[in-house]
């Protein structure tokens, strides 16, 4: 069984690798954004594992947290969290379809 590989940023990916790469990048970016100091309430110190869990939970749209969101994040942090939830909710298929249409490909 020969799986067609797609070229993405100069690398060849199978569809499964492309989806895995998308989620890895999304989780990394969400963890970095949620760990920035301007996203927290004053005096709140979060561990890396708490921020990572919150980011992964937001990307996977489960909404689980081990922290109190209202007491931990300020307005900027909550907006970042909402955007991360939206990116996770859009999903790979919707994003892929959007990119497919931008490049002028036909949808079958």
- Chain segment 22-53, per-residue pLDDT in tens: 889 999 999 999 999 999 999 998 999 999 99
User: Residues 44-67: what's their mean pLDDT?
Assistant: 90
Cα–Cα distance for residue pair 63/81, rounded to 1 Å: 10
Exposure of 8 in the CB half-sphere (CA atoms within 13 A): 14
Cα–Cα distance for residue pair 51/32, rounded to 1 Å: 8
Q: Is 35 exposed, middle or buried (0-12, 13-18, 19+ CB in 10 A)?
A: middle
Cα–Cα distance for residue pair 78/39, rounded to 1 Å: 8
Full-model pTM: 0.74
């Amino acid at each position: 069984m020969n799986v067609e590989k797609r070229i993405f940023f100069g690398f060849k990916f199978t569809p499964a690798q492309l989806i895995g790469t998308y989620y890895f990048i999304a989780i990394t970016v969400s963890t970095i954004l949620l760990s920035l100091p301007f996203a927290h309430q004053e005096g709140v110190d979060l561990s890396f594992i708490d921020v990572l869990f919150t980011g992964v939970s937001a990307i996977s749209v489960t909404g689980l947290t081990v922290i109190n969101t209202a007491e931990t994040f300020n307005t900027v942090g909550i907006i970042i969290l909402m955007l991360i939830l939206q990116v996770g909710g859009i999903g790979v298929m919707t994003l892929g379809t959007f990119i497919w249409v931008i490049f002028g490909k036909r949808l079958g």
